[in-house]
Amino acid sequence: MKVLFVTSEIAPLIKTGGLADVSGALPAALRAIGVDVRVLVPGYPQVLAQIASNEVLATFSDLPGFPPSRLLFSTLHNGVPLMVIDCPVLYQREGGPYADAYGHDWSDNPLRFGLLCRVASILGCGGTPLSWHPDLVHGNDWQAGLTGAYLSVAKEAAPNIITIHNLAFQGNFDSENVALLHLPPESFAIDGIEFYGKMSFLKGGLYYAKHITTVSPNYAREIQHVELGFGMQGLLQARSRDITGILNGIDTDEWDPETDKHLAFHFSSQRMVGKAKNKRALQEQMGLQVQADVPLLAVVSRLTHQKGLDLLLEIVPRLLDIPVQLVVLGSGEKQMQDEALALAARYPDKVAAMIVFDEGLSHQIEAAADMFIMPSRFEPCGLNQFYSQRYGTPPVVHSTGGLADSVVDCTPQTLRDGTASGFVFSGMTADNLYAAIMRAVMVYCNEAQWKQLRKLCMNKDFSWETSARAYRRVYLKALGRAVEFAQD
């Protein structure tokens, strides 16, 4: 089975969030179970600078509406074949994949990601210039959402599926883009890419896809209701039978406390002394009081309303009545950044805040901290709760989306039956978060229980293999190979 995997970011080449982690790991896991996956990404400078070869697979000099581009071929460090769209006019610029250095979205994003979808549709139909013909096109998030609309009028089009990593990001733009992107005019309809008078990449993706997946089973249910449906709940309800939630795995090579290249001290569930050394090193580096037995709380996150960190910042003064420390690594909304920095200035030996995106530091924090705080208002899957468990840092999470699917609340019962893996609170209030953190601190103070909880966390299996098999079942279903689907 041949699959074209279309994504706007891929670790380790370019990353703003969890989509990159998934794109960096899932294709390799699929290849390991016999699926011939190739990845298609835009040629941002960060990508072009890191790919080994510049073999040109094809040139697209006269795609109506788009500047000329070339398709380059390379192979990722994990053996996954990569196809890169080199289009300097659209991608060669300083800044992030979606926005400039000041956080303003690129005004030509419709064109930038329209080209990604257009090229995906060319490679996924009979007219492809390549000898490699995918059986299926797998798009991710809104940036790949128009692929199905283009394929709907292509000859010998492969079926396409879409994975929602976050329904809140939809790629909605003015309707004039329908003509500018040379989309089929009839696609601008309620049964198509139209969404409240605008054209929507994601709506198109959800409408035209043969099958829809989300990155956790719980999120697949939540988005069919008004609270977390972001206006798409009607369409999602109508397509309910075609939606499957598949929990993300993690890259267990990248995130392995025994071998992590970002760590000065390695450790395992059998030998935890390295973790204590990492804690000491981080406390020193961040200017916190060096204290082995004070619980160190951590956050690594985009600082946005979604992540619910306003609740944490609100309760910090209250939390500091007991001996705890907090380290925050993140960037995002200015007000939240400023509040985190203000707390760090007010309590310099107890709170540290770093407003940057720093992959290495995120690993060091996971390794050093005692507890990881994720009070997300909604969370399609979330990754840090997995990393935290693997690094013996029980997460404190709000019961939503993938967090509810992947963290089991620590109680005497779950400790006994060996399922406990963190602390879960319901009801999105500062008081409820505070109570959950206090529960975690109570268990921390009971050395035997804390050791047991950490061990349970670290021994859980988060590899991609199970998820890759679930994706393969979805592929088979989308291809109508139901017999194999039933047997797999």
List of residues contacting ligand ADP (CB under 6 A): 17-18, 21, 166, 300-302, 329-331, 357-359, 362, 381-384
Q: Which is nearer to ligand ADP, 180 or 303 (CB)?
A: 303
DSSP 182-250: T--GGGSSTTTTEETTEEEHHHHHHHH-SEEEESSHHHHHHTTSHHHHTT-HHHHHHTGGGEEE-----
**Rounded-to-integer distance, Cα 327 and Cα 284, Å:** 12
Q: 20 vs 440, which CB is nearer to ligand ADP?
A: 20
The answer to whether 21 touches 15, Cβ cutoff 8 Å, is yes
Residue with smaller CB distance to ligand ADP, 204 or 330: 330
CB of 81 to ligand ADP, least distance (A): 24
Nearer Cβ to ligand ADP, position 74 or 421? 421
Shortest distance (Å) from residue 304 CB to ligand ADP: 8
- To ligand ADP, the closest distance from the beta carbon of 203 in angstroms equals 20
- Distance in angstroms between the alpha carbons of the first and the last residue of the chain: 14
Segment holding 159, helix H or strand E: none
Minimum distance, C-beta of residue 222 to ligand ADP, in the bound complex (Å) = 15
- Shorter beta-carbon distance to ligand ADP: residue 193 or 303: 303
What residues have CB less than 8 Å from 6, skipping those under 6 apart?
39, 40, 116, 117, 120, 137, 138, 139, 140, 144, 147
Closest of 410, 370, 403 to residue 384, by C-alpha = 403
Comparing CB distances to ligand ADP, the nearer of 27 and 124 is: 27
With a CB cutoff of 8 Å and minimum separation 6, the contacts of 175 are 188, 194, 197, 198, 199
Angle between helices 447-458 and 430-445 (to 10 degrees): 110
**If you search the block for the tokens 């699926």, which residue do you land on?**
35
CB of 355 to ligand ADP, least distance (A): 8
Q: Which is nearer to ligand ADP, 96 or 382 (CB)?
A: 382
Cα dihedral sign for 377, 239, 98, 462?
positive
* Under 8 Å between Cβ of 123 and 109: no
Torsion 211-213-218-224 (CA) sign: negative
Shorter beta-carbon distance to ligand ADP: residue 15 or 210: 15
Q: Whole-number minimum distance, CB 215 to ligand ADP, in Å?
A: 8
Amino acid letter at 293?
A: D
Q: Which residue is nearest to ligand ADP (CB)?
A: 18
Query: To the nearest whole angstrom, how small is the minimum distance from the Cβ of residue 165 to ligand ADP?
Result: 7
| Minimum CB–partner distance for residue 359 and ligand ADP (Å) | 5
